[in-house]
Amino acid sequence: MDRPRFEVADVLRAHGDAFLKARPQPPHVCSALNLIRICRTAALDGHLDRCAKCGFERPSYNSCRNRHCPKCQTAAKQEWLEARRAELIDVPYFHCVFTLPHELNGLILQNREAALGLLFAAVAETLKGFAKNPKWKLEGRPGFIAVLHTWNQELRDHFHLHIIIPAGVLRGTDFIRSPQPRFLFPVPALGNVFAAKYRDGLLKLFEAGRLGFHGQLEPLAKPAAFRQLLNATKKKRSWNVYAKRPFGGPAQVLDYLGRYTHRVAISNHRIKNMAEGKVTFTAKNRKKDKTYPVTLDQHEFIRRFTLHILPPGFMKIRSYGFLANTLKKEALKTIRQSLGQPPPPEPAEDDPQETTAERIKRLTGLDITRCPKCSGKLVPGPIPLDWIKKEIEPRAQAPP
């Protein structure tokens, strides 16, 4: 695989220290930025691959495994998808997106854990409430996966939740299929309830003293000003809830999940240039299906990238209803029996003897032991001292 011409790590190595000096960040953000900048460099050690047939040599350095790193998501994504494959049922799946108003962005950025946790909770309560309501002719427990994205194509803060949900609910021992062709419930009604639940949840967090207000947001710490903000969002149409085109079946669901679940704010292939203190990357106008260049000062690029580094331990992918971790094994067994569908194949047991190369080939199909020159076999060994001296550069070192 060809290395991208420019990477997020290149920007961080060139300007990360100056950015952090000018804009001090929380420890978890500093840690993430540092890991990304040294990912797959000699600073993290590794081994030297050597082809016994043609003598080709290539250093392979260890990955940082940070979940915000553009280079470290492939294996994690494939492992997660393999686990989800056994949980799919042979029914249509719907895809819905719940978006928060941009008027709340500043508040959310200063209270990410509370405000984004509330986003998950408000969406889950909304969907579960609609599924129980006899008005919608289902009256059961839905199951769905929620995936948080915090960015738009220009790396600005844009908080939204992607929902993947099977077309039906579990009622007792029966799976009740949805009669709706486009989505389980009317989208405008979902949007109204979701907005009300989120505003109510924010008010409760405020009254409980669980929201912080710093800098320009300090005036919102007064009850009257905070309620005025909430009231202003009632008039906005930016509580955007919409249903995308339904998936045709489980295969399409996996394809979608593979593209979205472990995505980071920007992938390396989108970065096209880095010169004269600026970064140029591509963005896509989805309405017009066209890409266009975005050029930012390198400090502004890093600032926008840090907006999307989540708090430690915060889960960006969550499962609910009959797909919740504590319920899904028995629930899916009941659903398949109700639908007359066979159980999924038993997953292969983990092989403790499996090497990293074998695991990567199993998950991705990529054989990293194959020599790129003669197709012979690369054999790993220790990195000689002369390689270390040659490869370790000051820019690849962790900052003190």
Quote the CA–CA distance of 394 and 387 in Å, as a whole number: 15
The pLDDT value recorded for residue 229 is 94
Q: Tokens 């209803």 — which residue?
A: 321
Backbone φ and ψ for 272, nearest 5 degrees, come out as -105, -25
DSSP run (H or E) holding 170? strand 168-171
The Cα 15–Cα 9 span in angstroms is 10
Question: If you write DSSP's letter for every residue of 99-126 in order, what string do you get?
Answer: E--GGGHHHHHHSHHHHHHHHHHHHHHH
| Tokens encoding 249 | 């079946």
The pLDDT value recorded for residue 4 is 53
Distance CA(11)–CA(9), nearest Å, equals 5
Asked if residue 66 lies in contact with residue 37, where contact means CB atoms within 8 angstroms, the answer is no
What whole-number distance in Å separates Cα of residue 335 and Cα of residue 340? 8
What are the residue boundaries of the structural domains of the chain, listed by start? 11-68+357-396, 87-265+307-339
How many residues are recorded in the chain? 400
Q: At 12, which helix (H) or strand (E)?
A: helix 8-22
Token pair 């002369």 is found at: 386
Q: What pLDDT is stored for residue 348 in this prediction?
A: 58
Nearest-5° Cα angle at 94, 89 to 95: 125
Please state the pTM of the whole predicted model: 0.89
Buried b (16+ CB within 10 A) or exposed e, 289-322: eeeeebebebbebbbbbbbbbbeeeeebebbbbb
Q: What is the pLDDT of residue 207?
A: 97
Which class is domain 87-265+307-339? alpha beta
Per-residue pLDDT of the chain (400 residues; tens, 9 = 90+): 455 589 999 999 999 999 999 999 999 999 999 999 999 888 888 888 899 899 898 888 889 999 999 998 877 777 788 888 888 898 889 999 999 999 999 999 999 999 999 999 999 999 999 999 999 989 999 999 999 999 999 999 999 999 999 999 999 999 999 988 888 899 999 999 999 999 999 999 999 999 999 999 999 999 999 999 999 998 777 788 988 877 777 778 877 777 778 889 999 999 999 999 999 999 999 888 899 999 999 999 999 999 999 999 999 999 999 999 999 999 999 999 999 999 887 655 666 667 777 777 776 778 888 898 998 898 888 877 666 666 554 444 444 3
Identity of the amino acid at 336: R
What integer pLDDT is reported at residue 387 of this predicted model?
63
